[in-house]
Amino acid sequence: MAYEHILYATDDRVATITMNRPTKMNAMSLDLCAEVKAAVAAADADPEVRVVILTGAGGKAFSAGYDLADPKAKSYRDRGIEGWHWRMNHDLDYNYSVWRCSKPVIAAVDGFCLAGALELAQMCDVRYCSDDARFGVVETRFSAAIACLSMPWVIGARARELIYTGDIFGADEALRLGLVSRVFKKAEFHAETMKIAKRMSRVALACLQWNKRALNQTQVAQGMASALQYGAEAGAILDATETPELKEFNRLRNTVSLAAAMKWRDDQFKQFE
């Protein structure tokens, strides 16, 4: 399959999927989401692949999150609560694509990993990052919903402060919180991540698959599926609610620029950082 927004490569039992929009911080448009899902499915169906790496091109970002300037996104915004219900469930299904993959999926985070991209990374089996990685649930700072509320299932109750503040934090804090398993120097990051992926790929495929199924079922038994679905439904209601913060953010985005909206958002928090 030919891809426009991602790169797909295989090397000795490891498939690497690279979100490839570096000039846009690998922002996840609807088209990119569709290609990531297709590539994950292709890797899952390939008997020669045992491990999948998901990463971003350019070295500056894994991804900055969903593309707020995606022209295809306007249609659902114009349909009110029903449109947002569709979008939240679309995004939840997108995040589930890596979780449902029968093979281990490693999120290789180099640079920024924000908003929806952080949700996606948290649905992967393992997360490694470079020492300049930066994380944040930044969408809450302009009253946008979290489509896939995966963070509590990764770091537990410590997710509350990060979600309530929208704070951006670095690699060392991510390691301390248990959000990532390892931090590597930037120059060595991709090589070290691939080395671990190759090590994983030496385990029998059936062993990897049955262990992932058992681990996933533990989360299902704990109620993860119903919790994530409730989060998506609550998110649809929130996104359809025009809070003063969201109203001003959208006014600036629509009449000035997205950069102006982002600056306004950040200025609300500066004196308290």
> What distance in Å separates the CA atoms of residue 63 and residue 113, rounded to the nearest whole number?
5
Pairing mode, strands 182-184 and 134-136: unpaired
In single-letter form, the type of residue at position 120 comes to: L
- Side-chain-facing half-sphere of 185: CA atoms under 13 Å: 2
Domains of the chain, start order: 6-241 (3.90.226.10)
Three-state DSSP at 117 gives: helix
- At 189-233, the pLDDT tens digits run 999 999 999 999 999 999 999 999 999 999 999 999 999 999 999
> What distance in Å separates the CA atoms of residue 145 and residue 85, rounded to the nearest whole number?
11
* pTM as predicted: 0.95
- At 103-161, the pLDDT tens digits run 999 999 999 999 999 999 999 999 999 999 999 999 999 999 999 999 999 999 999 99
- At 239-270, the pLDDT tens digits run 999 899 988 988 998 899 888 998 999 899 98
Three-state DSSP at 104 gives: coil
> What distance in Å separates the CA atoms of residue 235 and residue 76, rounded to the nearest whole number?
14
Catalytic residue ranges: 119, 139
